[in-house]
Amino acid sequence: MSIKFACIAPHPPLLLPSVSKKEERKKLSDTIDALSFLRKELESKEVDKIIISSPHDDWGFSVPLFYLAKNFNGKIDKVLIGSGDLKEEFLKGKRYYLSELEDNSDEIALIASGDTSHCLREDGPYGFHHDGPSFDKMLIKSLNDKDVDTLTRLDNLFPEALECGLRPILFLLGVLEASEKKYNPEVLAYQYPFGVGYLTVNFKIYE
């Protein structure tokens, strides 16, 4: 088994042409461009299997796969993430690697599907709370610093952030750590035009 690709992708239904208006998608152009870049990256890796983790069972899988796996004909494993302890989700990712991937010959792509804080604007669906931007800022910093310890404490530090992406991210990071792959995260886009944070990240994987 070899992990060839890993990313964080947002999953708002507004990214789907069948759901949103052209004007709404225009406000998400940076995110759409970033997802298009990720699709090209993923296709260049010629992986056998995609493993996508998400906290939601309808749009949580379908939105990222709409953009990233349009031309993919391999296997797709969907991992539904619960709302449990953050550190446990990281450890779950490590266990998943050891039980499902370590002795597998497939070449793998990992996708963590989720949105960041849902309270970034007064006119957003959940209004504004100061925990929202503070959470997102610390999330991005901790990803860049590869600071898993801080990531596992963000719920306690910012309890009103109303996010749905942290646990899938920790699951992905647990898989990467267990694989002993070296990586560097690269933030491709971060937008919140409607009050919910949409973070798109590519993980550069080194052999």
Convert the chain into a string of H (helix), E (strand) and C (coil): CEEEEEEEECCCHHHCCCCCCHHHHHHCHHHHHHHHHHHHHHHHHCCCEEEEEECCCCHHHHHHHHHHCCCCCCEEEEEECCCCCHHHHHHHHHHHHHHHHCCCCCEEEEEEECCCCCCECCCCCCCECCHHHHHHHHHHHHHHHCCHHHHCCHHHHCCCCCCCCHHHHHHHHHHHHHHCCEEEEEEEEEECCCCCCEEEEEEEEEC
pLDDT at 35 over 80: yes
Confidence of residue 103 (pLDDT cuts 50, 70, 90): confident
Q: Which CATH number fits domain 2-206: 2.30.40.10, 3.40.830.10, 3.40.50.2300, 3.30.465.10?
A: 3.40.830.10
Q: What is the pLDDT of residue 154?
A: 98
Residue 59 token pair: 């749009």
Q: Which amino acid would we find at residue 199?
A: L
On the question of pLDDT at 66 being above 90, the answer is yes
Predicted pLDDT of residue 146? 97
User: Residue 207: is its pLDDT beyond 80?
Assistant: no
Question: CA angle 19-24-30, nearest 5°?
Answer: 110
Return d(Cα 136, Cα 125) in angstroms, integer.
17
Report the C-alpha dihedral over residues 165, 166, 169, 175, rounded to 10 degrees. Answer: -140
**Band of pLDDT at residue 198, cut at 50, 70 and 90:** very high
R_g of the chain, CA atoms, integer Å: 16
Q: What is the mean pLDDT of residues 116-141?
A: 97
**Rounded mean pLDDT of 125-136?**
97
CA-wise closest residue to 88 among 174, 20, 19: 174
Closest CA to 43 of 76, 9, 69: 69
pTM of structure: 0.97
β-strands 49-54, 75-80: how paired? parallel
Strands 2-9 and 198-206: what pairing?
antiparallel
Q: Percentage of the chain with pLDDT > 70? A: 100
Q: What is the mean pLDDT of residues 80-99?
A: 95
How far is Cα 78 from Cα 81, in angstroms, rounded to an integer? 10
